[in-house]
Amino acid sequence: MKKYLTILSLISLLALSACAPVAEVKNPVTVATMLDSEGSVLGKMIILALNAQEIETVDKINFGTPDILRAALENAEVDLVVDYTGSGQYYHPEDATDTSIWNDPIEGYNFTAQLDREKKDIIWLTPSPANNTESIAVTRSFAAAENIVSMEDLAAYINAGKPFKLIASASFVENPMGLLGYEEAYGFKLTNDQIISLASGNTAEMLKALAEGTNDVNASLVYGTDGALDKLDLVVLEDPKHIPPVYLPAPVIRKAVLDVYPEIETILKPIFESLTLETLQSLNAKVAYDGEDATMVAENYLKDNGFLD
Amino acid sequence: MKDRIRRGLSLILFMTLLFLPMGFFKVNRVLNGSVFSLWKIEYAWILVLFALISTIRLKHRTIAYLRSLFLILLPSILIYVSQSYVIAEPFDVKVARISLGPSIYFACIGAWVLLSTEAKGSLKIFISLCVLITLFGFGYFPMLGFYKEYINRQATFFLELQRHMSLAVTSLLFALVPGIYLGYQSTRHPRLREWIMGFVNGFQVAPTLSMLALLMIPLASLGQSFPFLRTWGVKGVGFLPAFIVLSLYALLPITSNTYTAFKQLDPSVMDSAKALGMSSKHIFRKVSFPLALPFIITGIRIAFIQNIGNTILAGLVGGGGMGSLIFLGLAQSATDLILLGSLPVVLMALGFEVILEFTELRLKKKMGVLYDQA
Amino acid sequence: MIKLSQIRKLYDTQEALRNVDLQIEDGECVVLIGPSGCGKSSLLKSINRMIDIDAGTITFFNQDIQSLPVEQLRRKIGYCIQGVGLFPHMNVKENIAILLRILKWKEEDIERRVDELLLMSELPLTYKTKKPHELSGGEAQRVGVCRALATDPPVLLMDEPFGALDPMTREKIQIAFRDIAQKLHKTVVFVTHDIEEAILLGDRIALMNEGQIVQLSTPEALIQDQKENFTKNFIGQDYPLMVLKRFSVRDLKLKPISNLNVTHRIDLDTNLKEALALCIKQTEAVIFKDEQNTYSLVYSDIFSFIRGMQDETAH
């Protein structure tokens, strides 16, 4: 009995190691992104660009939630991710005492990049200028009918007691740089029945509810580069006081990997610099709403803009 | 009597073709589209007529054949017919898609229920599914949202499918030997049984997701301390944590059923084997193990089906599998993508259930344990 | 020869066997009988070490059973139990031949032996491919006996093997078993709670109670010689009638007579109890014949025979 067992366990171990995906072969770069359309598109762009320059990659696009992605990067499970500059507030909370830096794109970026470089050996490369920040969106018809263009107009509308319901993520609702910040800056206060708070930060559901008017929702949380803005006839309300943090997408890489492939910085810099807010919106819309394959969308973009032959 | 219930049920389900929505025409992937029912499609009402007629029991042989054929093809026909619906407003053909409505689902179920009342019913249902899947694979349902999701990411789909099965199967195999060993030892040492059962049960109670989260840290640090392990895939995320969690989950059904398998052995049989002068090795090999085997397979079957479902969670920690499609669909609020991820899992689970139960039954017959002793 | 000396067995603090002594001669059938819990099964199972005793020695053909490897001992002892315990996943032939296969007999020898055993138990050879669940209770038990006899062990231990069978089947199989055991000169230790079965099969009956052998005698001797009240109560008041079934008309050694008209169709193998019942029905003599001769039977023939048996055993 014992002999059989040992042999069987050895065989299973061998089978196991054969089945387990052979991870790194001569250090290819593991690229991982978040579980959304933007993660798909940007991730595929990075992979195509690196592959074209003969850098081997391992595709871990749509890896998981932001926390898991960050943990994976810090633990060297993945090598290159797409992250957002404003996230620095969560990564180094003890040092992020001055919250005003997050409203400035350059200061926020520098702060996060410096701390990550010093403390975690993680390097932030050139970001895209598209501010994927949290804003409030309404339908175009609603904006036209009620004459609402900016957050000040919205505050006036709310304070006049007119019907209003906002759908947003719990973290936005409770964030002093989120809804609470807006309320304080523009002088309005929402009651609990004027808010529908969802656990996840995913806006696809929320925007769908806004577009269809489900549950009397007439405003929703939206991210700057959301594809829905293109497709669902929605407008973003202007925020002259710049309340929420600035979130610029940027490639973030482990220092050890960058040392091996320093050219990654120069490869990705022009690509990311070319991604404006409108560009990202339309790319995201193609993947999320038209259902196009993210690889095709990324490839077409790179080719159309001369980054790929 | 059962027959009449089934035919009545099918009648009701076919009636829904008349009244419930047949499908949703969506202009893009996310928004719910406009509803349409059967009446919007020319001549489709003929199908309803035939479907209603088919619930009547007919004796004539040729008509019965035709009826079977109709029922087998009905799901495919209905979906095919739904593709022809168009809305008045302009739309982009590449982007717009049709999602199936409740009446089509009910009608398919109705057709399959009716088929189950016929001779060789299971075979006919199987053929119906095969026809459906074949037509689907050859692109006969181009406007179907489900198809569009599939065709836009075919390579990914099959890659994740393979990853899913490989994860489910290897984790099962890994748990197999320890599970059977522990289950067998539990029968020999009653005190050990309590320890083992407590240990194994403990895993079942902990939610899979928290197990995954908990495992990340030790695995990550392990991988960092011993770099050679990393080449074997010892990481906090990806294949390994999902694999470990799935193996631990597979342990309970295997161990528990192996214990029962050996405990249910007829004491008369064991006594006579002993009294014949067979050594314990002989007894195990020729008597205990063969007789326990069908019940051990029960445990394996349960563990495997459970694993196929649980593997979905691997998608959350970068382990791949159909779960990554499901979660992406959830994130993008694209219901057809969610379906693309979950339907294959359901079909696989059902398929393996049928196959393994059949094997079990054959084995039980062969081992003579299906019958009561005279 | 099997000798049990001073056998003691404890279950927790309960004494199941209390210093039991018993000697079983070659070729004889000793029946252990008694009420539930008297220890008869435990005593039986101690012989092939299915139960381990706490004190005392058992010798098997002059060898202490502890000195042999237990498997070797058991291969020399056939064992049949009430549940039969046929292997449900093997057919009849494989069941019978299991030990022969382990002992690496040649296929032709195995085939021959199985046929031999089946014929002896009056089972058709076509049964070889049947599975146990296809057999009736009686047939299954017969196969069990074949299996026990496969290696031709000198000793058979039987633990209430026929208890689960219906009365008609039971009677048939009891007679068949007795004939086989006698023909093969097997030493048999048989446990039962049925006194009639004991009378039919046993050369000697060991009556047990509360872990001890209360009385050990031949069935005939028990008619008169009842040592304890317990014995009287256990065997019952109609015991003498039961003993009649043990003998047949042949044992009367009737002298053939000249041809008279036959009154009844009985024969020399009819048991005496039936014969006596017939004598009661028939006011005159019972005239019957076998192939060669005609005989006359009256009830006094039966009585003098029994008296004769009792007188014999009294000495």
**Given this model, what pLDDT does residue B230 score?**
61
Note the pLDDT tens digit of each residue in C16-31: 898 899 999 999 999 9
Q: What pLDDT is attached to residue B314?
A: 85
| Neighbouring residues of A212: CB distance < 8 A, sequence distance ≥ 6 | B31, B32
Please check whether residue A160 touches B, CB under 8 A.
no
Q: Give chain B positions within 8 Å (CB) of C147.
A: 272, 276
pLDDT tens for the 309 residues of chain A, in order: 566 666 676 666 665 555 544 443 457 899 999 888 899 999 999 999 999 998 989 888 888 778 888 888 888 888 999 999 888 878 887 776 777 777 788 888 888 888 889 888 899 999 999 988 888 999 988 999 989 999 999 999 999 888 999 999 888 888 888 888 899 889 889 998 899 998 877 788 888 889 888 888 989 999 888 887 767 888 888 888 888 888 899 999 999 899 889 999 999 999 999 999 889 989 998 888 888 889 999 999 999 998 887
Identify how many contiguous H helices and E strands chain A contains and give both numbers: 15, 10
Contacts of C11 (CB under 8 A, 6+ apart): none
pLDDT at B372 over 50: no
pLDDT value of position A9: 67
| Pairing label, strands C77-81, C155-159 | parallel
Of C50, C76, C131, the CB nearest to B368: C131
The residues spanned by each domain of chain C are 2-236, 247-313
Nearest CA in chain A to B146: A291
| CA B197/CA B199 separation, integer angstroms | 5
Half-sphere exposure in the Cβ direction for A143 (13 Å, CA)? 19
pLDDT beyond 90 at B219 = no
Q: Does the CB of B225 have a partner CB in chain A at under 8 Å?
A: no
CA B275 to chain centre: 46
Distance (Å) from the alpha carbon of A107 to chain B's nearest alpha carbon? 31
Q: Which residues from chain B sit within 8 angstroms of residue A207, using beta carbons?
A: 30
Domain spans in chain A, listed from the N-terminal domain onward: 29-131+246-304, 134-236
CA angle C76, C78, C84 (to 5 degrees): 155
Average pLDDT, whole number, for chain C?
A: 88
Kindly determine whether residue B327 and residue A32, on different chains, have CB atoms separated by under 8 Å: no
pLDDT exceeds 70 at position C56: yes
Å between B264 CA and nearest CA of chain C: 13
pLDDT at position A24 is 38
Domain boundaries, chain B: 2-144, 154-367
Report whether CATH 3.30.565.10 matches the domain C2-236.
no
Residue C289 C-alpha, separation from nearest chain B C-alpha, in angstroms: 41
Segment (H or E) for C22: strand C14-24
Band of pLDDT at residue B169, cut at 50, 70 and 90: very high
Does position B374 have pLDDT exceeding 50, yes or no?
Answer: no
Architecture of domain A29-131+246-304: 3-Layer(aba) Sandwich (3.40)
Lowest mean pLDDT among A37-51, B178-192, B203-217, C244-258: B203-217
Nearest Cα of chain A lies from the Cα of B132 at a distance, in angstroms, of: 23
Q: Which of residues 93-152 of A touch B (CB under 8 A)?
A: none
In which band, very low, low, confident or very high, does the pLDDT at B304 lie, cut at 50, 70 and 90?
Answer: very high
pLDDT more than 70, % of chain B: 94
Name chain B contacts of A256, Cβ cutoff 8 Å. Answer: none
CA–CA separation, C140 and C131 (whole Å):
10
Residue C289 has pLDDT above 80, yes or no: no
* pLDDT, tens only, B118-139: 888 888 888 999 999 999 989 8
Q: Are B334 and A291 inside 8 Å of each other by CB?
A: yes
**Which contacts qualify for C9-17: CB closer than 8 Å, 24 or more apart?**
C9/C39, C9/C42, C9/C46, C9/C51, C9/C53, C9/C54, C9/C211, C10/C54, C15/C211, C16/C42, C16/C211, C17/C42, C17/C43, C17/C46, C17/C53, C17/C211
Decide if A38 contacts A67 (C-beta within 8 A).
no
Check CB contact under 8 Å for A202 and B333.
Answer: yes
A contacts of B162 (beta carbons < 8 Å): none
Tokens of C307: 């008296």
Of B13-17, B275-279, C181-185, C285-289, the one with minimum mean pLDDT is C285-289
Contacts of A290 in chain B (CB under 8 A): 28-29, 92, 94-95
More confident residue, B369 or A292: A292
CATH code of B154-367, in short, is 1.10.3720.10
| C82 to chain B: closest CA residue | B268
What pLDDT is attached to residue B373?
40
Q: Residue B285: closest CA among chain C residues belongs to which residue? A: C102
Among positive and negative, which fits the CA dihedral B155, B161, B167, B169?
A: negative
C145: nearest CA partner in chain B: B272
Q: What is the pLDDT of residue C314?
A: 63
Selection from B358, B350, B239, B363 nearest residue B304 by Cα: B350
Which of A9, A19, A36 has the CB atom closest to B166's CB atom?
A: A19
Specify the pLDDT at position A268: 92
CB pairs under 8 A between A and B: 129
Residue contact B374–C79, C-beta within 8 A: no
The one-character DSSP state at B283 is: I
Q: Do C50 and B271 touch (CB under 8 A)?
A: yes
pLDDT score of B120: 83
The answer to whether the CB atoms of A71 and B316 lie below 8 A apart is: no
Q: What pLDDT, on a 0 to 100 scale, did the predictor assign at position A25?
A: 40
> Of C309 and B273, which is predicted with more confidence?
B273
Name residues whose C-beta falls within 8 Å of residue C10's C-beta, 6 or more positions apart in sequence. Answer: C16, C54
The per-residue pLDDT for A71 is 83
Query: By three-state DSSP, how is residue B359 classified?
Result: helix
The pLDDT tens digits of the residues spanning B45-81 come to 788 888 888 887 777 888 888 888 888 898 898 888 8
C47: nearest CA in chain B? B275
Q: Which of B92, B170, B331 sits opposite A36 (nearest CB)?
A: B331
Higher-pLDDT residue of C113 and A27 is C113
Tell whether A70 is within 8 A of chain B (Cβ).
no
State percent of chain C over pLDDT 70: 99
What does the mean pLDDT of chain B come to?
Answer: 84
The C-alpha R_g of chain C, in whole angstroms, comes to 22
Query: In this complex, is the C-beta atom of A165 within 8 Å of any C-beta atom belonging to chain B?
Result: no
Quick check: B278 and C98 CB within 8 A? yes
Strand order across the beta sheet in which B34-36 lies: B34-36, B23-26, B97-100
Name chain B's partners: 3 or more CB pairs within 8 A: A, C
C215-232 pLDDT, tens digit per residue, is 898 888 888 877 788 888
- Each residue of C244-276: pLDDT tens digit? 888 888 888 888 887 777 777 787 888 888 888
Q: Walk across the sheet containing A80-84 and list its strands.
A: A57-64, A29-34, A80-84, A249-254, A122-124
Residue-level pLDDT at B54? 81
The class level of CATH for C247-313 reads alpha beta
Using a CB-CB cut-off of 8 Å, the residues of chain A touching B239 are: 20-21
DSSP string, C162-199: TTTS-HHHHHHHHHHHHHHHHHTT-EEEEEES-HHHHH
Q: Tell me, yes or no, if B216 comes closer than 8 A to chain A by beta carbon.
A: yes
Pairwise CB contact (< 8 Å): B231 & A63:
no
In the 8-state DSSP scheme, what is residue A128? P
Which pLDDT score is estimated for B15? 85
Q: Which fold has domain A134-236?
A: D-Maltodextrin-Binding Protein; domain 2 (3.40.190)
ipTM of this predicted structure: 0.83
The yes-or-no verdict on residue B218 having pLDDT over 80 is: no
If we measure between CA atoms, which residue out of A293, A297, A249 comes closest to residue A274? A249
Say how many C-beta atoms besides its own lie within 10 A of residue B108's C-beta: 20
Question: C98–B367: do the CB atoms touch at under 8 Å?
Answer: no
Element (H, E) at B191: helix B190-205
For B71-124, write each residue's pLDDT tens digit.
889 889 888 888 888 777 778 888 888 888 888 889 898 888 888 888 888 888
Angle at B363 between CA B358 and CA B369, to 5 degrees: 120
**pLDDT reading at B224 higher than 70:** no
In this prediction the pTM is 0.78
CB distance from B334 to chain A under 8 Å? yes
Task: Evaluate whether chains A and C are touching (3 or more beta carbon pairs less than 8 Å apart).
Answer: no
**How deeply is C290 buried, as exposed, middle or buried, from its count of CB atoms within 10 A (0-12, 13-18, 19+)?**
middle
Q: Cα-atom radius of gyration of chain B, to the nearest Å?
A: 26
Cβ neighbours for A20, distance < 8 A, ≥ 6 positions apart: B170, B232, B233, B239, B240, B243
Residues of B near C (CB-CB distance < 8 A)? 266-279, 282, 286-287, 290-291, 366-369, 371-374
| Residues in chain B within 8 Å Cβ distance of A68 | 237, 316-318
Mean pLDDT of C60-85: 90
Q: Say what percent of chain B tops pLDDT 90.
A: 22
Give the torsion through C-alpha atoms of C243, C246, C248, C253, to 10 deg: -80
